[in-house]
């Protein structure tokens, strides 16, 4: 009887892939992944009866590939036509995000429309996508340098090796606040686009059949203001962490 009871109580485990370089959405304190994204995923799927295993890979492209192949069940991502082929996306978004251009004001550029960027060099992380129009622009002009690390990307912008970085405004501004030498890195006021971070489930995962439940639970969390509270708490925690000595984090 005890063995039966223990087996019934054991939650099914799912795998969530994160690339924790996007504070306050997700980051690593050196010991664990923290931020809004892992908090939402653990709470959301915990309430649906699952135990969440967090998987961290070498870059964001690896996370997307593993989700497409069914090696992980869940990521949080923007919806694109290509990703829709291998993943199902929540109807209810987790977060609205404004995509901005970060530039070095010592090397100003002119930007009103996307095609204005054709004559400049940009930097992106492997696997990043900022909408179909932007992806087509990148494929057409081949003016993007791909890297796996945000610090490397912003470092290139500081040194003038690239002209712009496309990045979520909130995350980018938080990142450059404490980055040495980033005093001249600013986000242009004109947004490149607005997109929505969503729960993405591998079509090869059993979770793909529970999208209605996922949306219903996300809606409850949103209506209760819980996601916004977690976002504010995550940002405050990240700022506090930056004030600590490295060995105390």
Cis peptide before 24 (omega within 30 of 0): yes
Among the listed residues 34, 7, 1, 2, the one whose alpha carbon sits nearest the alpha carbon of residue 18: 34
Q: What is the DSSP letter of 8?
A: H
pLDDT digits (tens, 9 = 90+) for 144-161: 999 988 889 999 999 999
Residue 183, phi then psi, degrees to nearest 5: -60, -25
Among the listed residues 78, 163, 83, the one whose alpha carbon sits nearest the alpha carbon of residue 124: 163
Round to whole Å and give the CA distance between 24 and 20: 9
Going by their DSSP bridges, the two strands 12-18 and 50-56 should be labelled as: parallel
Q: Count of residues for the chain?
A: 249
pLDDT confidence band for 4 (50 / 70 / 90): very low
CB 89 within 8 A of CB 200: yes
Q: 139: alpha, beta or left, given left = phi > 0 and alpha = psi -120 to 50?
A: alpha
Q: What is the pLDDT of residue 3?
A: 44
CB 90 within 8 A of CB 172: no
Top pLDDT among 93 and 241 is at 93
Q: 104: alpha, beta or left, given left = phi > 0 and alpha = psi -120 to 50?
A: beta
Q: What is the pLDDT of residue 10?
A: 63
> Does residue 245 have a pLDDT over 70?
no
pTM above 0.95, yes or no: no
Top pLDDT among 9 and 32 is at 32
pLDDT confidence band for 246 (50 / 70 / 90): very low
Round to whole Å and give the CA distance between 60 and 104: 25
Residue 207, phi then psi, degrees to nearest 5: -65, -20
Q: What is the pLDDT of residue 244?
A: 56
Residue ranges and CATH numbers for the domains of the chain are: 10-95+197-244 (3.40.190.10), 97-194 (3.40.190.10)
């Amino acid at each position: 009887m005890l063995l039966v009871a223990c087996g019934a109580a054991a939650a099914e485990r799912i795998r969530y892939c994160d690339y924790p370089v996007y504070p306050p959405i997700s980051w690593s304190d050196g010991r664990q992944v923290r931020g809004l994204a892992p908090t939402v995923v653990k709470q959301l799927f915990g309430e649906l009866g699952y135990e969440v295993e967090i998987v961290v890979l070498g870059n964001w492209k690896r996370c997307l590939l593993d989700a497409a192949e069914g090696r992980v069940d869940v990521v949080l991502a923007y919806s694109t036509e290509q990703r829709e082929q291998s993943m199902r996306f929540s109807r209810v978004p987790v977060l609205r995000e404004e995509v901005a251009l970060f530039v070095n004001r010592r090397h100003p550029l002119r930007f009103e429309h996307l095609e204005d960027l054709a004559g400049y060099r940009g930097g992106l992380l492997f696997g990043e996508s900022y909408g179909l129009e932007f992806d087509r622009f990148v494929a057409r002009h081949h003016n993007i340098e791909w890297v796996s690390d945000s610090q490397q990307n912003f470092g290139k912008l500081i040194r003038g090796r690239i002209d712009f970085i496309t990045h979520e405004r909130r995350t980018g501004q938080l990142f450059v606040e404490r980055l040495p030498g980033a005093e001249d890195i600013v986000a242009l006021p004109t947004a490149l686009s607005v997109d929505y971070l969503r729960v993405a489930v591998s079509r090869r995962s059993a979770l793909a059949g529970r999208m209605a439940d996922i949306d219903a639970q996300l809606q409850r969390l949103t209506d209760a203001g819980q996601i916004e509270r977690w976002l504010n708490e995550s940002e405050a925690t990240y700022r506090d962490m930056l004030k600590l000595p490295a060995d105390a984090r």
